[in-house]
Structure formats: structure tokens, C-alpha cells
């Protein structure tokens, strides 16, 4: 069977193609007579390994798998279509984010993180780093506030747009400032996906994401990855994955790669729907604090428009209190009450129920799916009427 190796595949045929074409073909092996065009997952814990293992493309199931290789080639192609890059897949988004933080930082060093990051980053990971003797400095995403904390830092950690508040920072500006001070830059690109924003092209050293969400889009797997142009950084991430066992399953990796073929279609529809929903919600008196970076009235719009090609599927807003929000969620018919975001079916939740985000009790994070925009708007407006 056509087996990938540890050498990058030749994707010269993808030079200059459109985003949809790239997403559909990234990481797909060259055509071979009588072979499937998209090979299935490889299930194995070990490989036939005669003689000296040095130079062998695959040696053991925790070190590598052909199914991972194809996915990682695809992710590298999406994150950095104009220059070579290396992607490393993990069992979850937190597996990828933890690998970046814990493989690149040492006791006594400092990291600058967003104060409004995803709650596991803002809470658990920050506490873990502090326990390891790493100085954690935090500032909000908005207004590039992390700039003021960069002196002496080893790593600048960005999350833009932020989750769940949807603030945006200027990646180019922050990356340039960090590099002037000798710091690496890692960007959590989960909400945007590489079709909405490419941190490596904007100056970052690493782009990382939870593939659980919009990247794969079907709410049926856990996956994460990090991508870098520097092979030495990628090698450290692979070693961390191997020694901690944070490896993706072959079925999850195969499902993720399969899902990339529709990434452009899904995210374009979701972005258009999210903008339509945000515009409709602006007209409702019950809704306050409405955020979506694609709205021209949004405080993040100017910066977002300078670095994002599409603005994502998430809309956030606040309703008048916990009880109102819960009545609203219960009245929805097309929108599931669920955590996470990026799925083809719309979902929403009262984010304050987890207790880890500094948001009002009536704060709603809405993930807009691929349903017809008019149907979603009608469902949301009817639920607001019912809740009132």
C-alpha cells in the first residue's frame, strides 16, 4: 500500500490553488494504480523492524503512524502553504497546548499569557506552570496589553480571537515586539482555523489549535496539533508527545483528515451565518455586550480585518440574568445546549455555568453551524420572545 514516510510529500501541484482545493487535497498521497485515493487508518502498535532501526520511517506505535503522517502533512500545508512547516498531532487540544508550554519553558523562565484565555489555559495550565517554577504574567487580549509584559520573557502566548470573549490582538505587532526581546510566539488559532488566520505568516513561531472544534467540525472526535516552521521546535514537540503518551488514535487522525476536505465549505458557511445572526441579535433589546469580530461595529473589527480572512463561527452576548438565559436555551429548537464550538450543527451555552470565565451569569457563547441562516435567526428570535 502507498505508505507515507517521514519526508514531506511533494505538494507542488497545490501551489497557487484556492483554499477549497488546498483543503480537499492537502496530505492526500500521490495517485497509485489500484490503491484507494484516500487510504484508511493504520491500526498497529508495532511494525516489522528488521536490523538497525536508525532511519526507519516507523518503529513503534507511540513514535509514529502513517495515518498521523498524512494528517500532519495536511495541517502543515494549511498552516503554511507558502513555506515548509512541520505539524505535530496530539490526542486533544490541551495535549497540544500543554506540549508547547511544557516542552519550551524551563524553571526560572517567564511566559506572557492572555488573562482572558480559554479557562483551562487561564486556570489549570497557568497554575501548573507556576508549580514548575515558571513565572506566569497575564494581561488581556484587547489593546495588545501583553506588550507591556514582554521584557525578559521566553514565550509569548496569544489567543486571538479569545474564547469566549472574542477580543482580538495584533499578531504581527506582538510577534515583532516579542522577537526583538528574544521571545518565542505561540498563537492559539482554534477559533479562526488556518483558513481564517495563519499565525505563521503573521510572524508567530507556532500555531496551535484544538482540532476537536471547527477544524474537524462534526463534534465526533478529540484532537489537537501544533505547527512550526522550525524543525527543532517540532522535534521537541514530538519528543514530548512520545514521552507523555499524548498520541492521537489512528481513527481520530483519519476522521480529522477526512473532515478537512469540507473545511472551506463549512467555515465559509458558518462565518456567513454567524454574521447574519450577529446582525439580527443587534436589534434585540434583551441582548447586550454582543461580540463578533466580523461586525463592523465590533471593537475588534479593525484589527481582525487586518489579519483574518474570515471571522469564525462564534457569537457571544449577554442576556438579562441566569434565569432568562436558561429559559432562552431551553426554548431553542435548532440550537443544542452544549459546550464546545465549531460543529456543523449550532450549539450554545450559558458559559458562566462552568465558573472558570469572568463573564456575567447571562453570558451566552453561541456556535453557529451550517443550517440556513434564516432558520437560525428565526429560532433565536423566537427563543428570545419565549424567554421574555
At residue 197, φ and ψ (nearest 5 deg) are -165, 135
Q: List, in order, residues 6 or more apart from 210 with CB less than 8 Å away.
A: 92, 93, 94, 96, 190, 223, 224
Distance CA 156, CA 174 (A): 8
Would you put residue 319 in left (φ > 0), alpha (ψ -120 to 50) or beta? Answer: beta
Q: Which of 116, 170, 188, 357 is catalytic?
A: 188
Choice among 22, 70, 126, 213 that is catalytic: 213
Looking up cell 509584559, which residue turns up?
A: 149
Sorted by sequence, the CB contacts under 8 Å of residue 215 that are 6+ apart come out as 190, 193, 209, 223, 256, 259, 260, 263, 342
Enumerate the β-bridge partners of residue 349. 365
Which one of the listed residues 22, 118, 205, 241 is annotated catalytic?
118
Does 118 participate in catalysis according to the annotation? yes
Assign residue 336 a region: left if phi > 0, alpha if psi is -120 to 50, beta otherwise? beta
What residue spans of the chain are helical by DSSP H?
19-25, 66-79, 93-104, 119, 126-131, 171-180, 231-244, 250-260, 263-281, 301-307, 322-331, 373-387
Q: Which residue out of 47, 62, 63, 172 is catalytically annotated?
A: 62
Q: What are the grid coordinates assigned to 97, written together?
A: 497546548
Active site residue 213: yes
Residues whose CB is less than 8 angstroms from the CB of residue 269 and which lie 6 or more positions away in sequence, other chains included: 370
> How far is 141 from 88, CA to CA, in rounded Å?
26
Mapping DSSP to helix (H, G, I), strand (E, B) and coil, where does residue 87 land? Answer: strand
| C-alpha torsion sign, points 44, 49, 55, 60 | positive
Distance in angstroms between the alpha carbons of the first and the last residue of the chain: 61
Active-site positions read: 62, 118, 188, 213
Amino acid at each position: 500500500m502507498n505508505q507515507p514516510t517521514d519526508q514531506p510529500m511533494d505538494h507542488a501541484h497545490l501551489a497557487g490553488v484556492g483554499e477549497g482545493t488546498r483543503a480537499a487535497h492537502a496530505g492526500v498521497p500521490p495517485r497509485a494504480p489500484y490503491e484507494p485515493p484516500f487510504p484508511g487508518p493504520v491500526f498497529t502498535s508495532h511494525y516489522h523492524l528488521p536490523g538497525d532501526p536508525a532511519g526507519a520511517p516507523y518503529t513503534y506505535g507511540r513514535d509514529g503512524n502513517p495515518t498521523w503522517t498524512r494528517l500532519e502533512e495536511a495541517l502543515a500545508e494549511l498552516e503554511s502553504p507558502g513555506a515548509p512547516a512541520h505539524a505535530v498531532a496530539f490526542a486533544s487540544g490541551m495535549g497540544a497546548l500543554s506540549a508547547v508550554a511544557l516542552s519550551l519553558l524551563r524553571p526560572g523562565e517567564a511566559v506572557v499569557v492572555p488573562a482572558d484565555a480559554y479557562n483551562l489555559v487561564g486556570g489549570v495550565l497557568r497554575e501548573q506552570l507556576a508549580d514548575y517554577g515558571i513565572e506566569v504574567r497575564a494581561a488581556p487580549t484587547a489593546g495588545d496589553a501583553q506588550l507591556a509584559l514582554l521584557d525578559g520573557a521566553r514565550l509569548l502566548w496569544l489567543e486571538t480571537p479569545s474564547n469566549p470573549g472574542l477580543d482580538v490582538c495584533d499578531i504581527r505587532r506582538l510577534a515583532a515586539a516579542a522577537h526583538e526581546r528574544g521571545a518565542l510566539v505561540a498563537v492559539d488559532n482554534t477559533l479562526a482555523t488556518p483558513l481564517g488566520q495563519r499565525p505563521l505568516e503573521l510572524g508567530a513561531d507556532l500555531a496551535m489549535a484544538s482540532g476537536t472544534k471547527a477544524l474537524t467540525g462534526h463534534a465526533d472526535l478529540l484532537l489537537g496539533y501544533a505547527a512550526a516552521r522550525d524543525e527543532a521546535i517540532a522535534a521537541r514537540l514530538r519528543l514530548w508527545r512520545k514521552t507523555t503518551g499524548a498520541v492521537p488514535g489512528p481513527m481520530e487522525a483519519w476522521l480529522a483528515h477526512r473532515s478537512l476536505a469540507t473545511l472551506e465549505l463549512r467555515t465559509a458557511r458558518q462565518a456567513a451565518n454567524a454574521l447574519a445572526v450577529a446582525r439580527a441579535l443587534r436589534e434585540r433589546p434583551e441582548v447586550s455586550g454582543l461580540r463578533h469580530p466580523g461586525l463592523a461595529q465590533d471593537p475588534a473589527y479593525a484589527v481582525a480585518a487586518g489579519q483574518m480572512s474570515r471571522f469564525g463561527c462564534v457569537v457571544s452576548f449577554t442576556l438579562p440574568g441566569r434565569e432568562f438565559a436558561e429559559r432562552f436555551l431551553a426554548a431553542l429548537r435548532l440550537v443544542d445546549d452544549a459546550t464546545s464550538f465549531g460543529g456543523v450543527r449550532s450549539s450554545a451555552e450559558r458559559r458562566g455555568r462552568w465558573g472558570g470565565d469572568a463573564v456575567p451569569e447571562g453570558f451566552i457563547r453561541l456556535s453557529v453551524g451550517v443550517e440556513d441562516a434564516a432558520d437560525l435567526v428565526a429560532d433565536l428570535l423566537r427563543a428570545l420572545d419565549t424567554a421574555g
